[in-house]
Amino acid sequence: MTTTQFCLVRHGETDWNAARRLQGHTDIALNARGLIQAKQMAHALKAIHLQFDVLYTSDLQRAQQTAQAIEELYKTTAIAHSALRERHLGALQGLTTDEAPQREPELWKSHLSRGILQDLRGGESIQQFAARVQSALEEIRQKHIGKTILLVSHGGTLDMMYRVASKQALDAEKAVTVPNASLNWISHDGTGWKVNAWADTSHLEDLALDNLDL
């Protein structure tokens, strides 16, 4: 059977990340720290001699700016794909995690309880989000069967990819974290998905980590 490998990377830090402000589809740029993280991550990939056949990125600028560091170092061009965006968080977008329970108490409660049909008033439900991410993964896999795909996306999106690959229930609490600059590996052998490694930061051990510690 032919195995297709995915190496998943989360984007660098934004000012909204630092303020714990919910971004969703809001198109926020990397901050100065995030730009440094992106460059360090790209150099870490080069240091471990990571070879990949194609680079994909979410079309939101925080992911594209992170992918740009890889583009420059590897002399390649990323393919932007809107289906790799973070979940649309509806009325919660733009609120901090302190503001949300005050301004939108019922929505916040539903968000925390992972009600899979709740669209957060104008956003995506978890069920819709899962369908989008699974469809994007399958579309990309079918285009590059047997290849290694490097993919830059968002914390929530990569968590959903973990759920797809591990068959974790959509309404279950998060089982993993998605550290900045970690390498997260999933694969498909032609019959099904599996998680090969998650939250791997071993490639960063010999690099300055000051700007990677969120």
d(CA 116, CA 132): 14
Active site residue 188: no
Q: How far is CA 195 from CA 21, 36, 41, in A?
A: 29, 28, 21
Question: Which of 6, 5, 4, 8 lies closest to 177, judged by CA?
Answer: 8
Could you say which of 13, 43, 72, 86 is catalytic? 86
Catalytic residue among 11, 111, 188, 203: 11
Query: What is the rounded distance in angstroms from the CA atom of residue 162 to the CA atom of residue 184?
Result: 9
Q: Is there a catalytic annotation at residue 11?
A: yes
What tokens appear for 3 in the block?
A: 């195995």
Which candidate, 101, 133, 127, 95, places its Cα nearest to that of 114?
127
Active site residues: 11, 86
